[in-house]
């Protein structure tokens, strides 16, 4: 097996890469997104149900 020496050098990184979120922050954001998705789905279901109850002709456009 061949091994190669690796030379490290300083690279001027953009500020947004230096402030990348920690694992806990990523997990929190994913959980918040999941909750928001559930809330959105529930609101869409409620809207469809209310539209059907009213008998609006626009109920075919529920996608």
Q: What is the pLDDT along the chain (63 residues), one digit of tens a residue?
A: 566 666 666 666 666 655 667 888 888 899 999 999 999 999 999 999 999 999 866 555 555
CA–CA distance, 31 with 53 (Å, rounded to integer): 33
CA–CA distance, 47 with 42 (Å, rounded to integer): 9
Let me know: does 51 contact 63? Beta carbons within 8 Å.
no
Please give the pLDDT value at position 40.
Answer: 95
CA–CA distance, 19 with 47 (Å, rounded to integer): 40
Please give the pLDDT value at position 24.
Answer: 86
Please give the pLDDT value at position 43.
Answer: 95
Whole-Å CA distances, 4 to 7, 8, 9: 10, 13, 16
């Amino acid at each position: 097996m061949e091994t190669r020496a690796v030379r490290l050098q300083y690279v001027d990184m953009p500020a947004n890469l230096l402030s990348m979120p920690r694992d806990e922050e990523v997990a929190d954001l994913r959980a918040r997104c999941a909750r928001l998705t559930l809330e959105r789905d529930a609101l869409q279901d409620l809207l469809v149900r209310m539209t059907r109850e009213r008998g609006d002709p626009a109920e075919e456009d529920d996608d």
